[in-house]
Amino acid sequence: MADYALLKKLKLTNPWHLLAVGLGTGLCPKAPGTCGSFGAMLIGMVVVTFSPWYVLAGLAVILYFLGVKACNEAERAMGIHDHGGIVVDEFVGMFISMLWIPQGQWQLALIAFVLFRIFDIAKPFPVGWADRNITGGTGIMVDDVLAGLYALICGALLWYFTGDLLLS
């Protein structure tokens, strides 16, 4: 569980801090990672409804690089690595996990959400290794990118083998 008092060291008027806490979704006192992932899923649902997959992919890439900087700034302000309230990494991981969803099929986002949370919490290799061994903003971001890739692969395979059954 995240030390909520450390979040008070962040200035939400600072755009890097606001981005680090996922536009406020990481401020949830319980399960901030899940709250951040849910917020990202809602944004991702809008994107997959109206845009092809590569728009969400581009958003994930841009947010990754901005997120590294935001995480570094938040770490510096709080004096701690990978505080639970830093959830911009969940946004990137969720966006990656949703890349398999066909345009307009926003209702499949809940499956991507569940898959991403499973891999983000369980941290199978190399997710756990990255979480423990890569430092700074890059370290915060990379494990969620990897969890997102696992969720993407599983979601794509699920869609490939079941297709329209998921929409029934």
Please report the sign of the dihedral spanned by the C-alpha atoms of residue 17, residue 21, residue 27, residue 29. negative
- Cβ-Cβ contacts under 8 Å for 164 (sequence gap 6 or more): none
Helix H segments across 51-125? 53-78, 88-97, 109-122
- Kindly provide the b/e burial profile for residues 90-109, where b requires at least 16 CB atoms within 10 angstroms of the residue's own CB: bbbbbbbbbbbbeeebbebb
Give the pLDDT confidence score for residue 76 in this predicted structure. 97
For the stretch 123-161, pLDDT in tens is 999 999 999 999 999 999 999 999 999 999 999 999 999
CA atoms within 13 A on the CB side of 108: 27
Token pair 């990897």: residue: 146
Angle at CA 98, nearest 5°, toward 97 and 102? 145
Token pair 């692969």: residue: 153
Contact 98, 44 (CB under 8 A): yes
For the stretch 83-115, pLDDT in tens is 999 999 999 999 999 999 999 999 999 999 999
For the stretch 4-34, pLDDT in tens is 789 999 999 999 999 999 999 999 999 999 9
**What secondary structure does DSSP assign to 136-152, as a single string?**
HHHHHHHHHHHHHHHHH
